[in-house]
């Protein structure tokens, strides 16, 4: 196949059942359970008003900045529940998509779209209540010439995304969980979430232990007047 201009088959993808489990858990908890070493970067922000956690298998797209030909094809071949993740180079001068393409995604039951680049029609997309994350907004429309790739490995801010990996996103940002690690991360995330809920309950009951703060300051050699 031609490197840089090809459509590959996705060989595997996380199950809908596992995606559903992650949709009940904060992205920050999963991030903590991955040693806080992976993230889609602070530039990726929700264009919609987040209501829960977006979760689904990645359908990856590598696009030439400002061109959406490959994204159009990805919309046509996406399976229900997929999260389309587009590496558009982080370019913000030209939009990769707008409300028309969101309408197609909704019709095809795509779970959400993540654009490492810009979108347009931001207000309309927000009203459509469809999960869209992007690095920016511009009114300048896209081209449709290619080249690009579908279902190859991409990277966003150093976070590598393989086709079929689990994508989760909420108001805190975007995280990719490798296919082979999803169940391990799920178990750890559930444990982390339960521990945080217990801590929140202790705070409300005024039974939380804050001694660790002063102990840490003393251990680190902080001086007090």
The CATH number given to whatever domain includes residue 96 is 3.50.30.40
Tell me how many domains the chain contains. Answer: 1
Can you tell me the distance from the alpha carbon of 186 to that of 206, in angstroms, rounded to the nearest whole number? 30
Taking only the tens place, the pLDDT of each residue in 148-170 is 999 999 999 999 999 999 999 99
Number of CB atoms found within 10 A of residue 144's CB: 11
Is the pLDDT score of 47 beyond 90? Answer: yes
Taking only the tens place, the pLDDT of each residue in 80-90 is 999 999 999 99
Is the pLDDT score of 1 beyond 90? Answer: no
Q: Is residue 205 part of a domain?
A: no
Q: Is residue 206 part of a domain?
A: no
pLDDT attached to residue 137: 98
Q: Is 123 annotated as a binding residue?
A: no
Is the pLDDT score of 124 beyond 90? Answer: yes
Q: Give the tokens for residue 34.
A: 């991955």
Cβ atoms 24, 186 nearer than 8 A: no
Q: Is residue 204 part of a domain?
A: no
| Banded pLDDT at 220 (limits 50, 70, 90) | very high
| Banded pLDDT at 139 (limits 50, 70, 90) | very high
Is the pLDDT score of 41 beyond 90? Answer: yes
Can you tell me the distance from the alpha carbon of 60 to that of 73, in angstroms, rounded to the nearest whole number? 11
Q: Is 87 annotated as a binding residue?
A: no
Residue with tokens 């680049």: 117
| Banded pLDDT at 216 (limits 50, 70, 90) | very high
Q: Is 127 annotated as a binding residue?
A: no
Q: If you ran DSSP here, which 8-state letter would residue 16 be given?
A: H
Q: Mean pLDDT over residues 51-60, rounded?
A: 96
pLDDT attached to residue 174: 98
Q: Is 136 annotated as a binding residue?
A: no
CA dihedral 159, 180, 151, 83 (to 10 degrees): -70
pLDDT attached to residue 129: 95
pLDDT attached to residue 130: 97
Relative to beta strand 148-150, strand 154-156 is: unpaired
Residue with tokens 């602070």: 42
φ/ψ (deg, to 5) at 47: -85, -30
Q: Is residue 216 part of a domain?
A: no
Q: Is residue 69 part of a domain?
A: yes
Q: How far is CA 4 from CA 34, 61, 150, in A?
A: 31, 11, 9
Q: Is residue 198 part of a domain?
A: no
Q: Mean pLDDT over residues 54-76, rounded?
A: 97
Q: What is the mean pLDDT of the chain?
A: 97
Domain span at residue 96? 11-191
Is the pLDDT score of 70 beyond 90? Answer: yes
Q: Mutual orientation of helices 69-77 and 99-107 as an angle, nearest 10°? A: 20
Is the pLDDT score of 116 beyond 90? Answer: yes
Q: Is 100 annotated as a binding residue?
A: yes
Q: Is residue 224 part of a domain?
A: no
Residues paired with 63 in a beta bridge:
148
Q: Is residue 131 part of a domain?
A: yes
Q: Is 121 annotated as a binding residue?
A: yes
Which residue from 35, 9, 7 is spatially nearest to 177, judged by alpha carbons? 35
């Amino acid at each position: 196949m031609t490197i840089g201009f090809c459509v590959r088959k996705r060989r595997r993808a996380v199950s809908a059942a596992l995606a559903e489990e992650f949709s009940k858990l904060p992205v920050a908890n999963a991030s903590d359970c991955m040693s806080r070493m992976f993230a889609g970067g602070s530039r990726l922000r929700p264009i919609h008003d987040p209501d829960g956690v977006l979760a689904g298998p990645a359908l990856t797209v590598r696009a030439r900045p400002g061109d959406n030909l490959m994204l159009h094809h990805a919309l046509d071949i996406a399976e229900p529940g997929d999260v389309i993740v587009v590496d558009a180079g982080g370019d913000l001068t030209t939009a990769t998509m707008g409300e028309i393409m969101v309408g197609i995604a909704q019709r095809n039951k795509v779970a959400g779209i993540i654009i490492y680049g810009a979108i347009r029609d931001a207000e309309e997309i927000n009203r459509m209540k469809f999960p869209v994350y992007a690095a920016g907004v511009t009114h300048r429309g896209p081209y449709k010439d290619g080249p690009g790739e579908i279902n190859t490995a991409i990277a966003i801010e150093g976070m590598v995304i393989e086709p079929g990996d689990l994508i989760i996103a909420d108001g805190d940002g975007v995280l990719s969980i490798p296919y082979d690690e999803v169940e391990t991360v799920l178990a750890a995330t559930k444990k982390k979430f339960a521990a945080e809920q217990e801590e929140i309950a202790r705070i409300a009951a005024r039974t939380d232990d804050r001694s660790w703060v002063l102990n840490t300051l003393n251990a680190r050699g902080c001086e007090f007047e």
